[in-house]
């Protein structure tokens, strides 16, 4: 059984506290595998690989967290997904889990005619190998996942250009609206994301068998 909780617009640190508690609840088997969907007010989050020492865009708060990767930006118009998944019945396969998170995003944006992909040596989800439409960074404690993906839908991409999100040039960031060539809202993305969550994570897990092609990624992915 899979669950989705839609939090709407919620401050990052409040979401972080509740996400961590939900991870503990999943570890205790009190809740099923759950996808949290949320938008955040503007915030820069910095993963375990740090921020290269560069200053954050003026006026945007910075929060350091335990997910993989470097720094990235969240803001209204970006759909953030936090899959809280117990990896014990899934072979404790972190690489497979990250692959499946990326596959979820690839399927969701395909609903808008966007052909996205993974790239060897580059984390996240890309369009035409040159434009990054979603960042991925997870953490795993006691074999339960938290943190997840950030999909640019119709958010302002300007803040990305003020630093190096995930170590990349911020000008590489794109969005569903940019790629579709017409306005697309977070509300419109929710249904495709929920459908992809069910399609990718519902089938029985088969050790060593990925449900879609793509390169194997590191256990602690970067942005």
Q: Is the CB of residue 52 less than 8 Å from the CB of residue 173?
A: no
Q: Is the CB of residue 94 less than 8 Å from the CB of residue 219?
A: yes
Catalytic residue among 133, 157, 166, 176: 166
Distance CA 76, CA 80 (A): 10
Residue 191 bears catalytic tag: no
Closest CA to 89 of 218, 202, 196: 202
Distance CA 127, CA 118 (A): 9
Closest CA to 103 of 80, 78, 136, 130: 136
Closest CA to 147 of 75, 70, 84: 84
Tell me the catalytic residues. Answer: 166
């Amino acid at each position: 059984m899979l669950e989705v909780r839609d939090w709407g617009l919620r401050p990052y640190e409040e979401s972080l506290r509740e996400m961590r508690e939900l991870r503990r609840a999943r570890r205790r088997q009190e809740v099923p595998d759950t996808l949290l969907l949320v938008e955040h007010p503007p915030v820069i989050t910095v993963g375990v690989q740090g921020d290269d020492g560069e200053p954050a865009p003026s006026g945007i708060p910075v929060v350091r967290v335990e997910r993989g990767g470097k720094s990235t930006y969240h803001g209204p118009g970006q759909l953030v997904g936090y899959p809280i998944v117990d990896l014990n019945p899934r072979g404790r396969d972190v690489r497979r889990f990250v692959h499946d998170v990326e596959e979820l995003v690839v399927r969701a944006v395909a609903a808008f005619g966007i052909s996205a992909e993974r790239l060897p040596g580059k984390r996240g989800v890309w369009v035409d190998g040159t434009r990054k439409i979603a960042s991925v960074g997870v953490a795993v404690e006691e074999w339960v996942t938290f943190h997840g993906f950030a999909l640019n839908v119709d958010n302002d991409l300007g803040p990305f250009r003020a630093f190096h999100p995930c170590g990349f040039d911020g000008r590489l960031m794109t969005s569903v609206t940019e790629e579709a060539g017409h306005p697309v809202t977070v509300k419109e993305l929710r249904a495709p994301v929920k459908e992809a969550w069910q399609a990718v994570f519902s089938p029985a897990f088969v050790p060593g068998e990925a449900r879609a092609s793509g390169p194997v990624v590191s256990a602690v992915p970067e942005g």
